[in-house]
Amino acid sequence: MTNHFFQLTRIWILFTALYSFSVWATAQEVAQPVNWPWHAVSIGFPGGSAADIKRYKARLNINAVRLDIVPRWYALRQGISGDQAFNEALVWADEMLDTCAAMGITAVIHMDHFPMDPADLTENSSPSFWSNQAELDKILSVAGQLAARYGKRGKELAAYHVISEPLIYDGGLALSPPQLPELQRRIIAEIRKADKDRWIVVSPGPGGQPQTYAQYVAPIEHNLIWGTHMYQPHKFTHQGIGGRPLGVEYPGLADGAYWDKNALRGLMEPLHLFQQSHAAPVFIGEFSAVLWAKGDDQYLTDLVSIFNEYGWGWDYFSATDWHGWNPDYDEFYAPDVPESAWRSHFVGDKSKRWATLRKLY
């Protein structure tokens, strides 16, 4: 009788454990954004169009896009206010989201460049910007407007990302703004007023880089995604921009170190460790290298290999706009020429970068 009792007890314990694991596994499966992991491209306002979504879906089978809204640059070109540009960007995003819905693609709405109005000469990397409550309140207003407009959307909208590269330059040093933790908490609260459960991407300072997760104190909220941008080493990925010298190769030396796949993995280890202790999806919201960088194909291949190994979502920057990132252009180097000059180097999907992208998606 006793042996029979213990046998039944063991069976019950085993059944309970299996049931608990099943519930846990189901919860883990549910707690993932739609179409996860995202294999996305960035499409910017106003240069990107619904036709771009269709084209990248057909040629790369993307399952997500990041809709990159930068009202300030558009307002500057059009001679209008930042608010006018933002309103036009929202109409653009409506069409883009409708296209996503029709094609089974999901989207992240991304806003990072503040202030929106070009008449405001404050730099968003300056201490004065971050200490100006009116500037921060404008960010909150934008977050609230996005959620109010899109909170009733379906699976075509997966997440919001407001402020992806928070930083200040102080004495030549890039620092995390001391106001960032409170601002992120308030952004989340503002979005949740109109959109209770959609995912929200957050990024640490300074600059939303993977190594900065070593010091990040994350906000406490459900349905958060840890966001980062990966362009390191900048002397390779941004060579020729801002006076950076040309000729840096990958794999190779940059910033006094040798960069290869192991070095890239090591740089991202703080983010990997952070995810292990703060379970949530990771989204590489931007990664790229200028088209004229020698070894760019291997650099992108190594990065995507690591992202996929860790189960992270990722987004190539950028499917539209400036020729330095846009795969529709050849490797023509001219970062400071007028747009009319580099537009003549359009080659479409016959480019070297397109050949690389086809291997990644």
Mean predicted confidence (pLDDT) in 244-266:
97
Decide the pairing of beta strands 106-111 and 257-259: unpaired
Q: Residue 31: its pLDDT value, please?
A: 80
Q: What is the pLDDT of residues 333-348, one digit of tens each?
A: 988 888 889 999 999 9
Instruction: Report residue 11's pLDDT band, with 50, 70 and 90 as the boundaries.
Output: very low
Q: Residue 242: its pLDDT value, please?
A: 92
* Close Cβ partners of 287 (under 8 Å, ≥ 6 residues apart): 229, 230, 231, 300, 303, 314, 315, 316, 317
Task: With a cut of 50, say whether residue 321 has pLDDT above it.
Answer: yes
Q: Residue 335: its pLDDT value, please?
A: 85
Average pLDDT, the chain: 92
Q: What is the DSSP string of 326-360?
A: -TTB-S---TTS-HHHHGGGB-GGGSHHHHHHHHH
What domains does the chain contain, in order, with CATH numbers?
39-360 (3.20.20.80)
Q: Residue 29: its pLDDT value, please?
A: 44
Paired tokens of 46 = 């106003």
For 215, the 3-state DSSP assignment is coil
Q: Residue 172: its pLDDT value, please?
A: 86
**How far apart are the C-alpha atoms of 283 and 229, rounded to whole Å?**
9
Q: What is the pLDDT of residues 229-246, one digit of tens each?
A: 999 999 999 999 999 999
Q: What is the pLDDT of residues 52-103, one digit of tens each?
A: 999 999 999 999 999 999 999 999 999 999 999 999 999 999 999 999 999 9
Q: What is the pLDDT of residues 107-159, one digit of tens each?
A: 999 999 999 999 999 999 999 999 999 999 999 999 999 999 999 999 999 99
Q: Residue 25: its pLDDT value, please?
A: 38
Q: Residue 337: its pLDDT value, please?
A: 86
Residue 126 amino acid letter: S
- Overall pTM surpassing 0.85 (yes/no): yes
